[in-house]
Structure 1
Amino acid sequence: MRLAVYNVENLFDRAKAMNLGTWAQGREVLEQFAALNRLLGQIRYRPSDKTKMAKLIVDLGMAASDTGPFVLLRRNRGGLLKRPKGGGVEIVAEGRADWVGSLELRDEPIDEQAMRNTARVINDLGADVLGVVEAENRPVLSAFNGQILPAIGGDAFRQVMVIDGNDDRGIDVGLLTREGFRIGTMRSHVDDRLPNGETVFSRDCPEFEITTPDGARLVVLVNHLKSKGYGGKASSDARRKAQATQVGEIYRRLLKEGVKHIAVIGDLNDTPDSAPLAPLITGTTLKDAFTHPAFDDGGYPGTYGACNASNKIDYLLLSPALYATVQAGGVLRTGMWPGVRPRKWETFPELTRPEDAGSDHAAVWVDLDL
């Protein structure tokens, strides 16, 4: 069987802020959005909270309307704010119970060619079990599977599963499987908590139990750990380390339960030698597929962007018993922008500009004798 993972970077829609001209611009909008969301979710609003909320609403372009260029404030019932004739914003609610609504990021469609190149990568992978990162939700992933894959000449997967995670930007993790590779028991970890009460996972760390046509049992944990891009470095590293630690605990529990074939896959947003990933990389018996003698990295050690060693952030981590079944493995980069001076790797003919890339990430795969 072939097991693979691919960060699809959303399929149909993506937050407009994430498509801004520069990474720094998008980061600023997303950080403002996150800060305002945290303040709006508080049980009681202190005067200082109200001042911060009013400023953030203005900074996000909603001084005159609930619809900003990148963010939408939905107010269904109750009173949250007023906009005085003299300008500005005044928060009138005393807490979260005083109004019903939500703060949402505005989306825009993904470029059609980019979406088709995403489908071409998935088709060329030929995976029996495919973990996906940054899928909007199950209906979207199911529509992509049933409509876009066949449109480029591919075959749709038999099962499609996404469990809604903790990220309100529409960034979830999921799994697709072919006929005969049945998804059985599923377990979500969206409600795992840190000692301070915060959720551990930025998205989720779902456990998917797969049964192969020959009756072998495999448990796949799909992950997307905290990125380096948003928030301070110290806090991001600490969050990623806490997530890696929790994934390690889940892995050890599965081993104690007698599960031999376990795969931890996904975008872990850090390098193998990083301190945040140490609890998972060196703190468990998991083995990185990249280190297997039968694995071919295509001449580049990374999986993201320019694919340098510092861009090695996508993983297939395998339990010893599963690692022992590896027959071959590799990295598929044909849907990534290859640069121009010189082009680093071959791509689809349809990929003629960076905007046409199926993803900034490569797909990673292994063939397993199960």
Structure 2
Amino acid sequence: MLTRVATFNVENLFDRARILAADTWEEHREDLEAYAVLTRILQQERYSAQDKERIAELLVELGLGRSDEGELLRLRQNRGRLVRRPREGGLVVEADGRGDWIGWLELRRQSPTELALRHTAQVVADLAPHVLGVVEAEDRVALGRFSRDLLEPAAGWGFEHVMLVDGNDDRGIDVGLMCRAGYPIGPITSHVDDRTPEGLRVFSRDCPEYEVALPGGGRLVVMVNHLKSKGYGGQAVSARSRRRQATRVRELYDARLAAGDDLVVVLGDLNDTPDSDALAPLLGDGGPRDVSAHGTFDDGGWPGTYTTGRAGNKIDYILCSPAVFDAIRAGGMHRRGVWTASGRWPMYDTLTREVDAASDHHAVWVDLQL
């Protein structure tokens, strides 16, 4: 019996942050960077005069100068006050540190179109995977609703087993796993708390290890990943974060093999290309092999997995241990739910507007004789 494993970045199913819903990263890059900087400052135990000046500047920059409600963000001031807005104008930062107020910056959200949701369900229905790694899902409840309310009507089947562990990203973009009947999810190991010797948190989201029981016996270990994005922050800093994450994923992969787990898959959105320095620790000698290197893999002439499909946009992966790679019988990409104005691949007949696309990411799949 063949087991189909797939990975798909769904870009949040029901609830997308407005700041992430633009057509390109560039549109809100500065807003994302300001949001990240302000969030770090607000967590400080004490705010200096310079900190307060910067807090006020960033709030104005993010559209929160006149109200706690902005187009992209909301400032929650639940107890105590961070700022007040005098009638004569301006912002006054009242809090002297994190202990003086309870609240946070909250990303405002919007729902995708109904057609976008239906196209997402159709992609998964067409793939018909037994094991699906999901990237950028908001929570386990949303995945369950997706399977029950959208996938089952489209496909006639749903996922029996659904799991997601909340990760470290406060934008609500997490990684999860969905499995068909006969593929129950067993023990789960989360790595949200992994840190470097210097105390830096390793994973932007998580690298959960899922042990999935196989119908014929044995188990498949699936590590679902979403490494640090290039979307905002300094590129050098982001690349160092991805390299740190890739190094840790490789350690976890090697530990599984050393412990006797020969069926191991690392999949998800790694946010960098195969030749990048950031992914070298994971993809280097002795590391898991990319399914696209198998002779049966068909990319349709476009090796990329994001937007245009060009080689420089190959960022989604299924990586296999030697025993899994030897078990590959076929593999490829599903693109019909991705918008293209160039006609590089056929789209669904109902996909006539970019806003109705299932995702900017192309799903990757592989059939395994396990």
Indicate whether the TM-score tops 0.5: yes
CA contact (8 A) 1:248 1:283 kept: no
2:287 alignment partner, SS class: coil
Query: Which AA in structure 1 matches 2:29?
Result: R
In the alignment, which residue of structure 2 is the partner of 1:134? 136
Aligned match of 1:355? 355
CA deviation profile, 1:45-77 (whole Å, cap 9, x unmatched): 122111111111111111121111100111111
Give the alignment of 1:173-212 within 5 angstroms.
173-212=175-214
Match of 1:328 in 2: 330
Match of 2:276 among 274, 277, 286: 274
Give, in angstroms, the shift of residue 321 of structure 1. 1.1
Letter in 2 for 1:365: W
Q: Structure 1: where are the runs of 5+ without partners?
A: none
| Cα pair distance change 1:21/1:217, threshold 3 Å | closer
Partner residue in 2 for 1:230: 232
What is the deviation of 1:283? 4.5
2:303 corresponding residue in structure 1: 301
Deviation at 1:153, TM superposition (A): 3.9
Q: Could you tell me how far 1:21 is from its partner in structure 2?
A: 5.6
Return the offset for 1:86.
2.1
Q: Which letter maps to 2:141?
A: P
SS of match in other structure, 2:106? strand
> Retained in 1: the 8 A contact 2:250–2:287?
no
1:241 touches 1:276 (CA, 8 Å); kept in 2? yes
Deviations 1:99-127 (A, max 9, x none): 11121100011111111101100011010
- Alignment-mate amino acid for residue 33 of structure 2: E
For residues 147-199 of structure 1, the C-alpha deviation after alignment (integer angstroms, 9 at most, x for no partner) is 11123344210011111011111111000000010100001111111344231
Q: Percent identity at matched positions? A: 53
Matches within 5 A, 1:14-93: 14-20=16-22, 22-93=24-95
Shift of 1:79: 2.4
Structure 2, unaligned stretches of length 5 or more? none
Question: In the alignment, is the contact (CA less than 8 A) between 1:248 and 1:284 conserved in 2?
Answer: no
Q: Deviations over 1:218-246 (max 9, x none)?
A: 10000011111211111111111111001
| 2:8 and 2:132 in contact (8 A); partners too | yes
2:125 aligned partner: 123
With over 3 angstroms needed to count, the CA separation of the structure-2 counterparts of 1:283 and 1:43, relative to structure 1, is farther
Give the aligned partner of residue 101 of structure 2.
Answer: 99
User: Contact between 2:291 and 2:318, CA under 8 Å: does it hold in 1?
Assistant: yes
Q: Which residue of 2 aligns with 1:2?
A: 4
| C-alpha displacement of 1:24 | 2.0
More displaced stretch, 343-352 vs 16-25:
16-25
State the AA in 2 paired with 1:188.
S
**What is the count of residue pairs matched by the alignment?**
368
Check whether the contact 1:280–1:286 (CA below 8 A) recurs between aligned residues: yes
CA contact (8 A) 2:15 2:112 kept: yes
Structure 1 stretch 236-245 or stretch 12-21: which is displaced more? Answer: 12-21
**Contact 1:5–1:316 (8 Å) recurs in 2:** yes
Give me the CA root mean square deviation.
1.2
* Amino acid corresponding to residue 145 of structure 1 in structure 2: S
**C-alpha contact (below 8 Å) 1:58/1:88 kept by paired residues:** no
Q: Matched residue of 1:152: which SS?
A: helix
Cα shift at 1:282? 0.9
| d(CA) in 2 for partners of 1:24, 1:347 | 25
> Secondary structure in 2 aligned to 1:52?
helix
Amino acid at match of 2:123: V
Q: Distance in 1 between matches of 2:198 and 2:94?
A: 29
Match of 1:368 in 2: 368
CA-CA distance at 1:346 after TM superposition: 1.2
